[in-house]
Structure 1
C-alpha cells in the first residue's frame, strides 16, 4: 500500500515526557468520551487552550507528541477520542451506533463545553486533522472558537482524490471498506492494518459518493449545518502529495466556513527537504522543526510570515468562497 494514504500504527503509550492527565466527559447525549489534558499550573487568560480533533478512526494518542510541543510552547491542550474509537471505545462495535455527525455534534461539542468550563475566560482554538477539520464546524458552540488550524481537512469526496490514485482509492475506501463493514457489522480496521476498528455509521458517511456533507447519511439528519456559526481565523494546511487533501477537496470543506477568515497554505515535500509527506505524517515528531511551527504561529498570533513558513511565500494564498455543489 502507498504510505501516503495508509494510516500509521498507533503508539501504545503517550510520549515519555508527556504531562497529560486523563479525563472522561459525557457527550451531549450522555455517552462517555475519554481523552487527555495538558494544563499549566497557573491560569493565564491570554493563554489559549487547543482542542485537537483526530482524523477518522485515528486514536488521539497519535497526536500526543504534537500536544507536548504545543504545551512546551505555552499552550494548554485537550485531546480526545470520538465515540467507538480508542479511549472512548467500550466493548464490541457490532451494532454500535455512531456517525461523523455524532462525532462533531455530540462529541466535539462536549469537548468545547469542557474547555469553556475547565479553562474559563481563555481563548479556545482547534487543530483538526482530516475529518477533524470538518468536526470543528459541527459543534453548536462553534462561535466560541477563536482560531482553527486544519491539516489535510476534507470529507472524502472521491472525485477530489488525487488523479493518479483515484480509482484505487475509490475501490479501497468506497467499495471494499463498506463491503467488509456489511459483513462484520463494523469495519475491522485493526485486523486489516488500515485504521482503528470503525463504527458502521462512520463508514457509511465516509463511503457515500456525494459531493456535499449535507447529503451524507448523517448530514441529512442534521437539517441545517452549523458551520456558519464559526467565525474563527482559519488556516488550512495541505500537502501536495496528500492523495486525500487536494486543492478541490480542501476548498470544498473551506466553503462551508463561510463566516470565517480563511487562509490556505499548500506545501510540497521538497519545500522542507523531503521526498514525501502524505496525509498522515504532519504530526510525526520528525517534523517538529519544519512543519509544526506553522501551526504554532497561527495559534499564537493568527498570522504567518515567510520566516515562520520556511518556504516560498508564493505558497500562501487566501481561499475565496467556492460552491459546495
Structure 2
C-alpha cells in the first residue's frame, strides 16, 4: 500500500431527518479548492470499511475521500434493527444527500465525484443535490430487477433474494444476513425494495413515495463498469439504470476477466487490492480526467 500523509479519521454526520451516520474520511493536510473529493457509495448491506483500500488508493493519488455506512448498516447501525425504518430511497435521498451536504460544508468549493458500487450507483440519482456531482464511476450498478440477472443463475438468485430473504425478514423483523454469511443484517424496508419484482424503481415500495425521482438532475460524466461474470450487473441491468440518467453523459464499459488475464472478478472483487494495477486505474483516470485511457481493457457497450 502506498504511504499516506494522513490516516483516515472517523466522523459523524446528521442526515436531514436528524439520523446520525458514521463514516471515515481521508483528507489531505493542506486544503486545495482544486482537489476533488470522492464519496464512495457502498453496495446494499456492505460495510464502508470494505472500500478502505480503494479509498487509500484514491487518497494517495491526490483525492480527498469519504466513505460512510447507510442507516442500519455498520457505523450507522442502531441498537436494534427490529422495527427500524429504512429503505433504499432513504439511503439515497437522506444518507447520500447527507454526504453531499458534508461536502458542501467541510470541503467547500472542491469538485465532488462519486464511486458507486451496486446499489451505490443507483443512490446517486436519489439525492436532491445530485446536480452537484461532477463525475461518477459505477461498478456493477443496478437495482435488482430479477429478470436482468444472468440467465444461468437467475432462478437461484431469485429464490435467494426474492423468496427466502423476504420470508426470513418477516420472521425476524429484519434480514439476519450476517449470521447466514449473506452480507450484513438489513432493515426490512430495504428488503422490501430489493425483493419487489418490478422493472421500474418508482414502482418499488419506497420509490412510490417519491413524487419525482431526482435522476433528471444528474449531469455528471458517468462511467458504468460492468463485469461479464457479475450475475447482477448484466448489460440489461446496467442499461436499465443508465436509462434513468437522461441528462448525463453516459459511457458503459464491459470488462471480462480474460481482458485482464484473470479467471474471475464477479460482483464484489473490483474493490479488492489485487486489482490495484489492472482495474483501479480505469476509475482513477475517469475521476481525474473524465475519460478512458487508450489501452483500457474491455468493450464499450454504449
TM class by shorter-chain length? over 0.9
- Name the CA distance, whole Å, in 1 between partners of 2:98 and 2:12: 11
1:53 aligns with 2:37: no
Contact 1:104 1:135 in 2 (8 A): yes
- Name the CA distance, whole Å, in 2 between partners of 1:115 and 1:249: 30
Structure 1: stretches of 5+ with no match in the other structure: 1-14, 320-325
- Name the CA distance, whole Å, in 1 between partners of 2:3 and 2:272: 15
Match of 1:316 in 2: 300
Deviation at 1:306, TM superposition (A): 2.4
Match of 2:181 in 1: 193
Counterpart of 2:68 (choices 57, 80, 94) is 80
- Name the CA distance, whole Å, in 2 between partners of 1:65 and 1:41: 19
Provide the TM-score with structure 2 as the length reference. 0.97
SS for the counterpart of 1:236 is: strand
- Name the CA distance, whole Å, in 2 between partners of 1:306 and 1:169: 36
Counterpart of 1:101 (choices 76, 89, 95) is 89
SS for the counterpart of 2:134 is: strand
Contact 1:214 1:223 in 2 (8 A): no
- Name the CA distance, whole Å, in 2 between partners of 1:259 and 1:41: 36
Counterpart of 2:225 (choices 237, 246, 250) is 237
Cα distance per residue 1:11-52 (max 9 Å; x no partner):
xxxx99781110000011100001001001111122100000
- Name the CA distance, whole Å, in 1 between partners of 2:59 and 2:3: 14
Contact 2:3 2:60 in 1 (8 A): no
1:180 aligns with 2:168: yes
- Name the CA distance, whole Å, in 2 between partners of 1:205 and 1:69: 33
Alignment of 1:6-155 (within 5 A): 19-155=7-143
Contact 2:282 2:293 in 1 (8 A): no
Cα distance per residue 1:242-273 (max 9 Å; x no partner):
00000000000001111000001000001111
Cα RMSD for the two superposed structures: 1.3
SS for the counterpart of 1:150 is: strand
Deviation at 1:98, TM superposition (A): 0.2
- Name the CA distance, whole Å, in 2 between partners of 1:16 and 1:133: 29
Cα gap change, 1:16 to 1:75, in 2 (>3 Å): closer
* Matched positions, count: 300
1:286 aligns with 2:282: no
Match of 1:303 in 2: 291
Provide the TM-score with structure 1 as the length reference. 0.91
Match of 2:239 in 1: 251
- Name the CA distance, whole Å, in 1 between partners of 2:20 and 2:293: 41
Contact 1:153 1:245 in 2 (8 A): yes
- Name the CA distance, whole Å, in 2 between partners of 1:153 and 1:28: 25
Contact 1:143 1:229 in 2 (8 A): yes
Deviation at 1:171, TM superposition (A): 0.3
Structure 2: stretches of 5+ with no match in the other structure: none
**Structure 1 residue runs of 4 or more that deviate by more than 3 Å after TM superposition:** 15-18
Cα distance per residue 1:115-167 (max 9 Å; x no partner):
11111111000000000001011110111100000000000000000000100
Match of 1:268 in 2: 256
- Name the CA distance, whole Å, in 2 between partners of 1:33 and 1:228: 27
Cα distance per residue 1:71-118 (max 9 Å; x no partner):
000000000000000000121100000000000001100100101111
- Name the CA distance, whole Å, in 2 between partners of 1:252 and 1:157: 9
SS for the counterpart of 2:81 is: coil
